[in-house]
Amino acid sequence: MNAVVTDESQRSLSEKLGVDIDPELLALALTHRSYAYEHGGLPHNERLEFLGDSVLGQATTVLLYTRHPEYDEGTLAKRRAGVVSTVALAEAARRIGIGAYLKLGRGEELTGGRDKDSILADTTEALIGATYLSAGQDAATGLVHRIVEPMLADPARIDAAIDPKTSLQEVAARLHLPAPLYAVDSTGPDHNRTFTATVTTGETVGHGTGTSKKHAEMAAALDAWHALSGRG
């Protein structure tokens, strides 16, 4: 059921984000196109997502450049790619709890849209864009830092976000576990399919969803990697 962005819930989300966002921009940032189309073509969050993507990239680049003078260009590019990836942004969105506030169409609700990596990542970028318009560049940069710093503090987590399947294979080998095995199912019409993946290595099972088989497998691999990375 769609969340209603009440004054109370708005304050709750603003506190989690650490910034005050204009109420109309906040509602817009949380509005997925599926909801907009089902309600007569309302505005949705894709323009804010476009803006937020630019702010995210710039702020992350500057942060990496200034904090890590020891990184060469290739390492800077690799670290940036990790923390701004769809998988990484979705993980940050789950940490904040953004999924509970989304305004989704019925189809997305029924296919687990509140936990889809693509929707969560896009909404995170839209919230960054809304912050930029509401409170300016400094506030938006601060929000970006709060989103990406937990990833930057753990390089292995960044590597897993960039290439979770390889990271899972490596940790499974280190723990002398069987090679990961993937199984993927799909639901929905051809133009709007949702893929659900399961990966198994030993007794560890990871689950993930996505808009393609590849994305679902990556999400499942990251889920299993998290389960195994603290072992051994």
> Was 125 annotated as part of a binding site?
yes
Pairing between strand 194-201 and 204-210?
Answer: antiparallel
Q: Which one of the listed residues 91, 108, 125, 217 is annotated catalytic?
A: 125
**Helix 86-96 vs helix 155-162: angle between axes, to the nearest 10 degrees?**
120
**Residue 122 assigned ligand-binding role:** yes
Nearby residues of 33 by Cβ (< 8 Å), 6 or more positions away:
44, 45, 46, 105
Q: How many CB atoms lie within 10 A of CB 82?
A: 22
53 catalytic per annotation = yes
- The alpha-helical segments, DSSP class H, found in the chain are 7-17, 23-29, 33-38, 46-67, 73-83, 86-96, 106-110, 117-135, 137-152, 155-162, 164-174, 213-229
The answer to whether residue 125 is catalytic is yes
| Radius of gyration in angstroms for the set of CA atoms belonging to the chain, rounded to a whole number | 18
What's the rounded Cα separation, in Å, for the pair 45 and 97?
18
Distances (CA, A) of 153 to 43, 173, 195: 37, 24, 31
Residue list for the binding site = 49, 122, 125
Residue list for the binding site for Mg(2+) = 49, 122, 125
Give the residue numbers marked as catalytic: 53, 125
